[in-house]
Amino acid sequence: MSGLISYHGGTPVDRVVTGPRAAELAKEAASLTSIKLTPKQSCDLELIGIGGFAPLTGFMGKADFESVCKNMTLASGTVWSIPILLSLAKGAEPKVGQKVALFAPNGTLQGVMSVTEVFEHDKKLEIPNVFRTEDAAHPGVAQVQAEGDVCVAGPVDVRSVCVDPSGPEAFLDKRLTPAQTRAEFAKRNWSRIVAFQTRNPIHRAHEYVCKCAQEICDGLLIHPLVGETKKGDITAAARMKAIDALVAKYFSPTATMVSVLPAAMRYAGPREAIHHAIMRKNYGCSHFIVGRDHAGVGNYYGTYDAQKIFDQIDLKNLGIQPLMFEHTGYSKSYGGMVSQKSYPKIEGDIINLSGTAVRDLLLKGERPPVEFTRPEVADVLIEAGRQGTLFV
């Protein structure tokens, strides 16, 4: 495993307790003040615990929060782009020195935190810096605005990393920790691994950039996000079924691996592209695909803003290599997938459907053009639409 990229910050993080210590933690938690986490906070706690957010060992304190918002680094200078906060309603915060029990939204004890700091949640600092807008219609902005006005920081011990193992989005066979993906990469003798992030089913343009990246790496990690997403997104269950159908027929098993990322979406566009890259570095990936409008929503970000932001950070400090791809699609005149870099732009030549158009076709039980999506993927999504399980 020595050939794999190091964890972000240089040191692995594992805050998950097991065996007798887990039983002790549960007993201890029964006498502690309890905090019910939001879905986003629950996702964040899982990733802190398993090392997906290395070098973080708990929720951020004020110095890290302010540095991330202003400079896109932790207070230590390590590149970091998204605040990881435990915010509470004013008056509900514990005192410094206390321990608190952290419960997932479904009531499962997820962990215990030792409180080292309590500080104001400066939303006027966070929102415009992280999201580049203060528009309440932006889902990430709305989410932060609805959060508490006080933040609690401190190291955590995590007891449960999958709080609902019987749920439809547990994906236990693909829910690998960074240590587990790294072990699998080493077993496969991969050292150059490219990660592909998605919160959507993989269509032909996604497939094309994945295959281009595979040509220069030992292997591809298809790493869909399965944490909290906004209303109207396609469910993780439908996405995963579609990905499995696609990979089974159109990807080489010797150069492809599928695992899931239990992270919540922020819809922070450029900043979130860096955030997604850092997490994939912790999972052992050396390269990360950044396409058009990465982690974007609506018209808040320019088409390639998520690529341009990597020019604003220290790439050596980041440690994982971003791979930038142009907008791609199926060219009728060329007879295959192209980008503006590889084929002249011809008006009306590229088959490109909007998300709304695809949604309307699927809900009507109609298959999008084969040049846009593979029929096996369309079949899965059409069936999910019939069953009412297509959208969050």
**So which residues are the catalytic ones?**
199-200
Question: Residue 293's closest CA among 266, 315, 268, 263?
Answer: 268
DSSP conformational letter for 83: -
Residue 113 burial (C-beta neighbours within 10 Å; 0-12, 13-18, 19+): buried
Alpha carbons 385 and 16: distance in angstroms, whole number = 38
The alpha carbon torsion through 210, 214, 220, 225 (nearest 10 deg) reads -20
Task: Give all strands of the β-sheet with 287-290 in edge-to-edge order.
Answer: 256-258, 219-224, 193-198, 287-290, 321-324
Alpha carbons 345 and 343: distance in angstroms, whole number = 6
Helix axes 123-131, 139-146, angle to 10 degrees: 170
Tell whether the torsion through CA atoms of 115, 117, 121 and 126 is positive or negative. negative
Residue 6: Cβ within 10 Å count? 13
CB-based contact 227:105 (threshold 8 Å): no
Alpha carbons 6 and 283: distance in angstroms, whole number = 9
Alpha carbons 377 and 206: distance in angstroms, whole number = 13
Helix residue spans in 259-309 (DSSP H): 270-282, 305-308
Six token digits for residue 274 = 């860096």
User: DSSP assignment of 92-158, as one string?
Assistant: ----TT-EEEEE-TTS-EEEEEE--EEEE--HHHHHHHHHS---TTSHHHHHHHHS-SEEEEEEEEE
Question: Residue 235's closest CA among 177, 172, 167, 295?
Answer: 167
Tell whether the torsion through CA atoms of 71, 77, 78 and 84 is positive or negative. negative
Coil vs helix vs strand at 194: strand
DSSP run (H or E) holding 220: strand 219-224
